[in-house]
Every structure is written in structure tokens, then in C-alpha cells.
Amino acid sequence: MRVQALQVVMKTNDITKAETQDLVIDTQNEKPKHRIQLSKVGVKNLKTFVVTDRSGIRHHIVPKVEFTIDLPAELKGVHMSRLVESMTEEISNQFRVHPSIEELQIKILEGLAQKHPFSRGEIKFEFEFGYTTRTPASNKRTWEVCDVAAITRKENEKPYIHEIEIEVIGNTVCPHCMANNDGLTHIQRAIGKLCVVGETAAIPKYGSMIDVIEKSFSSKTYSLLKLEDEMLVTKQMHENPLLVEDVCRNILQFAKEAFSDRDLEMFAEARSLESIHKHDVIAQGRIVTNGD
């Protein structure tokens, strides 16, 4: 019996790779019931681990990934494992420190192009980004965290296009109430967003985008504040009262000044978490720089 079992195992191991492939039925390559082209098909809410070292600063990032390609009308489905495989091979099998999220995403899309045909591919990372600052009076070092969404798109023979959105928390003081209430007014936490869209060489560093947003508020916010810091921040806020519209325009103007030498389309949003209302208020705008 043991000899027979061994013979069965040996015979099974003799199956060639070609014979194994013959056993696989690729239903994805069949014709669909409804021949309709799909713009995005892929995976969502996949998590991975990435290490970047940009300008000498190392970051350990755990992004939530959305990875999609288009699907022609004549194909039933996408080989989903190839999307994940192309990302895993770049991140895990060749584990190394990457120069930037944008360049890593390009490598992943290039790897996918060798495994799966597509006319338009897109990969999106959403993650928390840590950076350091110092308190304004006590000069203590403190860690801050903001939200980042990084998208890289490839369409046919066109250049890679990146879309980077950064969201930072600050605060505002209402100038309208202050002007009509003997200097008394309401203050609130605010959220500023800056999104830049452009080719690889035009994308700014995350830190410079954070700087643009933070200086657009009535004042910055900090995870750590000693009493002398609280007093200074409160004074700065009341000396710089801003409407949510002011914050949005500040973001766009400061971004224009900081990145005027780049070809970028930029979007801004300011949202005030109103302290005297049960609703929020928002302002949005757009600006374009052409490198002149």
C-alpha cells in the first residue's frame, strides 16, 4: 500500500506546468452577457506596508489601497490576483526603501502592464502622514499627523498623472461676530485641504503642501501646548480672524506663490466645524499654475 501511495505521489508530481494550465478555465476571458465597457474594475480596502525616504526623511506608511483598471466590453472580467501580485512583487518581493509614493505607484502600474492589458489604470493610497513641529513659545518638539490621499493614473501612451490631497487641522476666529460684538467672538476647529494634480516632476513635497495649509488658518493647532503656548496661540487667533472663505483663498494664494514654477492644477477646500451651530460651513476653489 505504501508503494502504491508513493507511486501516486510521484505520478502527481510529474504533471507538467502546461498540463496544469490546461486545467485552468479563465472565465475572465469569456464573453460577457452584456457587452458594456467598464471604466474601473479592481480591488479596494487592501492594506499594505511601505517605507519611503524622501529628502532624507524616512516614513513607515500603512496605506489603504484602491487599485483599478478599465475593462473592455468583450471581456467578462479582470484577473484580480494580477493586480495584487504586481503590487506585492514591487513592495514585498523587492522590499526596499522607495524614494516617494508617486514613484512606487508608477512601478506598480508598470509591473501590472506586463501581466494584464489595460488602457487606463489607477492606484490610490490613503494613509496618515506624520511630521514634526515645535510649539510656538516653549519650543517643545511635537509630532503631528495629517491625512493624505495619493493617486497615480496611467492612460494609454500619456504621461503618468498624480493627484495628491492633504488634509490638515487648524482653527478660525469669526471676524464678523468680532466686529459687531465689542471684540467678543466664537472660535472653532477648521479643516483645510489642498489637492494638486500634475506630472511626476511637478508634484511638491508633502511638507511644503502642509506648510501652505497651516499658515492659511487663523492659527496652527498643536498636539502639545504648554500654558505659554496656549496664551500665544489664542493671541495669534484673535489677531488674525478669518472666515472660511478667507482660509480657502489663503490656501490657493499661498499654493500659487509656493508652486508657481510648476505645471499644476490645484483645488482647495476649507471646512469650519462651527462652535455655535450644529452644522459645518465650507468654501472651495481652484487655481492653475503653468510654470511661468
Please report the pLDDT score of residue 24 as a whole number. Answer: 62
62-88 pLDDT, tens digit each = 999 999 988 888 777 778 888 888 888
170-198 pLDDT, tens digit each = 999 999 999 999 999 999 999 999 999 99
- % of the chain beyond a pLDDT of 70: 87
How does the average pLDDT of the chain come out, rounded? 88
Mean pLDDT calculated for residue range 233-243: 96
pTM of the model: 0.85
Q: The domain 2-290 is classified under which CATH number: 3.20.19.10, 3.10.270.10, 3.30.2270.10, 3.30.470.20?
A: 3.10.270.10
- Three-state SS string over the chain comes to CHHHHHHHHHHHHCCCHHHHHHHCCCHHHCCCCCCCCEEEEEEEEEECCEEEEECCEEEEECCEEEEEEEECCCCCCCCHHHHHHHHHHHHHHCCCCECCHHHHHHHHHHHHHCCCCCCEEEEEEEEEEEEEEECCCCCCEEEEEEEEEEEEEEECCCCCEEEEEEEEEEEEECHHHHHHCCCCCCEEEEEEEEEEEEEHHHCCCHHHHHHHHHCCCCEECCCCCCHHHHHHHHHHHHHCCCCHHHHHHHHHHHHHHHCCCCEEEEEEEEEECCCCCCCCEEEEEEEEEECC
Under the banding of pLDDT at 50, 70 and 90, the label for residue 272 is very high
Under the banding of pLDDT at 50, 70 and 90, the label for residue 58 is confident
